[in-house]
Amino acid sequence: MTLSRHDLENIICIACSRKFKDHYKGNGKKFNLPELMSCMFRIQGTLVADGINNAPASSSNNDLNTSIKDPNSIT
């Protein structure tokens, strides 16, 4: 499936809830890159944060926690 520029312009940005055509500079045909990149970083940050929150605890972390000894305990 091929998307035209017109199709892309009417897609809603999930970061800021505006259409992609609203990310243009003034009345021109070029994207306002800093504005568009800030939206992309917001999306990327959300995906990374969700991935970290949903990641299962690895066994290596559990092994590390059990191998740490209390410095106040007498052995």
75 domain-assigned: no
Q: Quote the number of domains for the chain.
A: 1
Encoding tokens for residue 39? 């939206």
Evaluate if pTM is beyond 0.85.
no
The string of pLDDT tens digits covering residues 20-43 is 888 877 766 777 778 888 888 888
43 domain-assigned: yes
26 domain-assigned: yes
Place of tokens 């520029």: 5
Containing structural domain, residue 14 = 9-51
Taking a C-beta distance cutoff of 8 angstroms, is the pair 15, 9 a contact? no
36 domain-assigned: yes
15 domain-assigned: yes
**Nearest alpha carbon to residue 3 among 17, 18, 20, 15:** 20
67 domain-assigned: no
17 domain-assigned: yes
pLDDT higher at 63 or 5: 5
